[in-house]
Structure 1
């Protein structure tokens, strides 16, 4: 079976506490995205969730990153783009009222991904609803702050590997027992996107890099 693509990165990149720790001392702020893109194949844009961004900002971000780099854009409403670009949608739930088979069925009907969000405050679900997986690791002990030890990251690496192979993890937390639709093409796995959002204590880039290392042996 052909593996789906795996991209592991960070949520946001402009954080003052990262300067001199993740970012080298003296690095210009305008060069931080380019530096992050040299370490990770994808970044989630947080600012688009809180306010509209100018077209010029998007042009600058695109110019600062490689052609094969992937941005995940957080938002509240639909986005209009040209048809040359593929647009996928994923929804992150933050209330237990979404723990229903009906909601999972609705996402599957429209091929919208269910964000697998690891956090102490919101539901953690792994029901597969689209041809890709979208994970946001916010910190399972302290929101936006706690890091992930190797034992926990190895568990996530096994999950990522299973998803990329078109399977489901043995420990998947689901609200429905109904099998997920197979990815398009019987021999193709699912694309997997993982973003670390535990930025407060400069854990996100460290944990993202470590998970990327651990996924490799898990794929064997």
Structure 2
């Protein structure tokens, strides 16, 4: 992997930000729900938008999120489950076109990596994965060209192809079947410059932390209990050490806490930020 001359970038945040149990805990009591993104974005350096996984969002939502966050803030975007769980990566070109046509690119400089999470029953198939990697756009210009192939199911009022210039796009793949825990899967990601997600999932899903791109994409789902357990001070020290090691190798690092069930995520993220 080529080394860049600029300093590596570290982004630490949470997966999603709209959680009712966080109100009166992480979010101050009485804070309007519409102000929660703005509040979270002043305490963290990135947020993973996971609503895009469940449904295509309105173009106006991306513009709103861009305007409500600090200038140097970055979003990661979770790719649609229709592509990963229904189409299962096969024949997904039109679905990808629809995804990029909805206004994702209007985040501009705040658009960070795009996460593709595979279902737990998706076994490693080199041909399927390689074909999917081939159709992923690597620049915003390529994404616009792909978006032009959207189908008629996407009405024009749900389309926004505005971009503020040509920017690189980076992708990350999170796998959940043990068959991916092989060198062939890691090598395929490396050959295509796709970040192989480091997923801490209480031992439930594969764990691989081999760099495969200039980006290390980390999802912390909970060390002891999936989505529910917090991270100890010792565990956070360990993750801080890993991040420092990766940045010393010239790699960018994005870390997202997904242990949201009991409200640990934002507090763990802030503790990790303090360590760095």
> TM class, shorter-chain normalised?
0.7 to 0.9
Provide Cα deviations, 1:33-64, integer angstroms capped at 9, x if missing partner: 00001101100001111111111111111110
The answer as to 2:177 corresponding to 1:95 is yes
Which deviates the most, 112-121 or 2-11?
2-11
For residues 85 and 73 of structure 1, what CA distance do their matches in structure 2 show?
15
Correspondence for 2:190: 108
Correspondence for 2:269: 208
Task: Indicate the structure whose relative CO is greater, using CA pairs within 8 Å and at least 6 residues apart.
Answer: 1
Correspondence for 2:259: 198
1:157 Cα deviation from its structure 2 partner: 0.4
Provide Cα deviations, 1:3-55, integer angstroms capped at 9, x if missing partner: 41111111100000000110011110011000001101100001111111111
From 58, 61, 64, the equivalent of 1:57 is 61
Correspondence for 1:172: none
| Mapping for residues 119-198 of structure 1, pairs under 5 Å | 119-120=201-202, 121-166=204-249, 189-198=250-259
Structure with greater Cα Rg: 2
Question: Is the CA contact (8 Å cut-off) linking 1:111 and 1:129 kept in structure 2?
Answer: yes
From 73, 78, 89, the equivalent of 2:77 is 73
Gaps of at least 5 residues in structure 1 are 167-188, 216-220
Question: Is the CA contact (8 Å cut-off) linking 2:181 and 2:207 kept in structure 1?
Answer: no
Question: Is the CA contact (8 Å cut-off) linking 2:15 and 2:49 kept in structure 1?
Answer: yes
RMSD, aligned α-carbons: 1.3
For residues 149 and 104 of structure 1, what CA distance do their matches in structure 2 show?
29
Provide Cα deviations, 1:108-159, integer angstroms capped at 9, x if missing partner: 1110000100002111110110001000000011111100000011011000
Correspondence for 1:39: 43
1:2 Cα deviation from its structure 2 partner: 5.9
Q: Give the structure with the larger helix fraction.
A: 2
For residues 140 and 53 of structure 1, what CA distance do their matches in structure 2 show?
31
For residues 171 and 214 of structure 2, what CA distance do their matches in structure 1 show?
11
* Corresponding residue pairs, total: 193
For residues 87 and 2 of structure 1, what CA distance do their matches in structure 2 show?
17
For residues 41 and 148 of structure 1, what CA distance do their matches in structure 2 show?
19
Q: TM-score, normalised by structure 2?
A: 0.68
Q: TM-score, normalised by structure 1?
A: 0.84
For residues 268 and 236 of structure 2, what CA distance do their matches in structure 1 show?
8
Correspondence for 1:6: 10
